[in-house]
Amino acid sequence: MTELSLVIRPELPIDHNAIERLHERAFGPGRFARTAFRLREGAPPVMDLSFTALVGTLLVGSVRMTPIQAGGVPALMLGPLTVEPAFEGRGIGAALMNRSIDTARAKGHRLVLLVGDEPYYSRFGFKRIPPKRLELPGPVNPERFLALELEEGALAGAKGPVMPMPAPAPAGAGA
């Protein structure tokens, strides 16, 4: 079998439909009811922190970051991290994670949250959020609610509800 090279690049608007189909295959229709999905609903991902993985012209993976407030502190919600099932176990998810986290750190972001499996995400530095520190807008297993401090102490000031980052006011509003 020929070894195909993997390309990680920023997500482009043209990738939207392929990513939605990938999410459908990976997570099924139940994804819309998940708390993390509901938190990201209506909030576009930060395009310069969201990446795709391609083998040739085939999109085989995606990771997105969405701006949120975590107990009043600006943060990012990572996810979904998705890899085409036929390409799992080849390091694609790790490559996407590393690119997204490294870029967020380089751009001055301080805190990243996610809902996921601690054994997988701990290798990137994610740790469980202390109980009752932050509240998501729906049920989630507290063992799966994780944070990565891109700057030491970033989680210390975050306490309370996690919600989408408010959209900026339109130009000329309130003038």
Residues 7-62 pLDDT 10s: 999 999 999 899 888 888 777 665 544 666 677 676 788 999 999 999 999 999 99
Q: Please say if the pLDDT value at position 175 is more than 50.
A: no
Read off the tokens for 73. Answer: 């502190």
CA angle 110, 48, 11 (to 5 degrees): 135
Residue 123, pLDDT > 90, answer yes
Dihedral of CA atoms 72, 76, 78, 79 in degrees, nearest 10, equals 80
pTM of the model: 0.87
Average pLDDT over residues 84-99: 94
Percent of the chain with pLDDT over 90: 63
Q: What is the pLDDT of residue 4?
A: 65
Give, for 67, the enclosing helix (H) or strand (E).
strand 58-70
